[in-house]
Amino acid sequence: MTTERIDFRFALLLVATLLVLPAQALAVGEAIAPSVKFAPSARGEAMGGAYVALVDDATSSWWNPAGLAFLADRNISVMHVKLLPGMADDVYYEYLGYAQAAKGWGGLAASFVYLTYGEIQGTGVTSGGDPYETGVFNSYEIVPSVAYGTTLWKDFGVGINLKAVHVNYAPDWAVTEGKAGKGTTFGADIGVLYRRARWSAGACFQNIGPNLTLIDADQSSPIYRNLKVGVAANVWEGNVGRCIVAFDVNKPFVYVDDGPILNGGAEFLFSELLALRLGFLTERYYSDYFPAEGLTFGMGLQYKGFRFDFANVPQSTALEDKVNKFSVSARF
């Protein structure tokens, strides 16, 4: 690979990065659009969310787009999560991602996220103070994205994921100001990944971009900006399988009082067929009122390029609940 081709690809990434760095890109405030926070891999979630240095599939665009630089095939991944099981069956998260190697150039990916809050009953208050129903509406978020990753040299990859974030929370007739509670913004994830035979290290700055405005500019809010840094290592390998451990540190740039979030996990893979996973995470904020922390666990089954993954993760310390997450992927 020539130096000119490396310089050209690096220039493309640099230009794309500058296009998504407005003056307010690192502003601190109260986050909105939780759809950008939910991780799309049950494997990564079962390992406590310590995945920035491991990912190399169709979920790379979320975890670390630099993982696309090392992609050697095509990969598709889907995920379904009921976010409030037993409370609201119509509140769920969906992820669809596709990635493929571009020989001599790295890897490309596209993904689509859909988060629905289900049907919501609108209400109003009469002049006499009596409540009344105004109608039913659907509230949702969608996040399409495209990503690219390439190696600058043999073991070092860089990548960028460009996304649009659209939220539609309420129609105009359900909002006091008489304007629809919806808006669109854009953002980028920028990552690096250094990979060796037995270990790897990576970092990703997620959701760099302008605030999201719903009703007017005075009510704009940032999306969840986060710096993720991690390492992973193959600590044991034998005739029956191998063991991988990973550790991440996250630093959110939204909530003023947020300290670092620590994630760690391990995966025991037996005969390339069965994987058992265990992990932990410290406080992770999905909203101001629902921090999550605790142990995670899960498993995976894989056969001839197909893989099914399951994870059980804490969703809310306040509600003391856990959520089951399922993802399916295929390499071909």
User: What is the rounded CA–CA span in Å between residue 298 and residue 276?
Assistant: 6
How many CB atoms lie under 10 A from the CB of residue 304?
8
| Residues 114-171 pLDDT 10s | 999 888 777 767 777 777 777 788 899 999 999 999 999 889 999 999 999 999 988 8
Side chain identity, residue 252: P
Rounded mean pLDDT, 92-121: 93
- Dihedral pair phi/psi, residue 13, rounded to 5°: -65, -40
High-pLDDT (> 70) share of the chain, %? 82
Tell which wins on pLDDT, 85 or 5.
85
Say if residue 79's pLDDT is above 80. Answer: yes
DSSP tag of 65: G
Say if residue 111's pLDDT is above 50. Answer: yes
Rounded mean pLDDT, 68-74: 95
| Residues 212-225 pLDDT 10s | 888 766 767 888 88
Residue 322 confidence class, pLDDT cut points 50, 70, 90:
confident
User: What are the residues whose beta carbons fall under 8 Å from the beta carbon of 225, sequence distance 6 or more?
Assistant: 25, 26, 205, 206, 207, 208, 252, 253, 254
The secondary structure of 217-260, three-state, reads HHHCECECCEEEEEEEEEEEECCCEEEEEEEEEEEECCCCCCCC
HSE toward the beta carbon, residue 199, CA cutoff 13 A: 8
User: What are the residues whose beta carbons fall under 8 Å from the beta carbon of 148, sequence distance 6 or more?
Assistant: 12, 13, 65, 68, 106, 107, 108, 109, 159, 160
**295 pairs with which residues across the strands?**
280
Say if residue 257's pLDDT is above 90. Answer: no
Predicted pLDDT of residue 92: 92
Residue 178 confidence class, pLDDT cut points 50, 70, 90:
low
Predicted pLDDT of residue 290: 55
High-pLDDT (> 90) share of the chain, %? 56
Say if residue 19's pLDDT is above 70. Answer: no
Say if residue 279's pLDDT is above 80. Answer: yes
CATH number at residue 321: 2.40.160.40
Question: Which structural domain range is residue 225 located in?
Answer: 3-331
Domain count, the chain: 1
Predicted pLDDT of residue 286: 52
Q: In the structure encoding, which two tokens stand for residue 248, read together? A: 């991440």
Predicted pLDDT of residue 24: 40
Residue 180: burial class (beta carbons within 10 Å; 0-12, 13-18, 19+): middle
Side chain identity, residue 256: V
Tell which wins on pLDDT, 4 or 149.
149
Tell which wins on pLDDT, 218 or 297.
297
**206 pairs with which residues across the strands?**
226
Say what the pTM is: 0.85
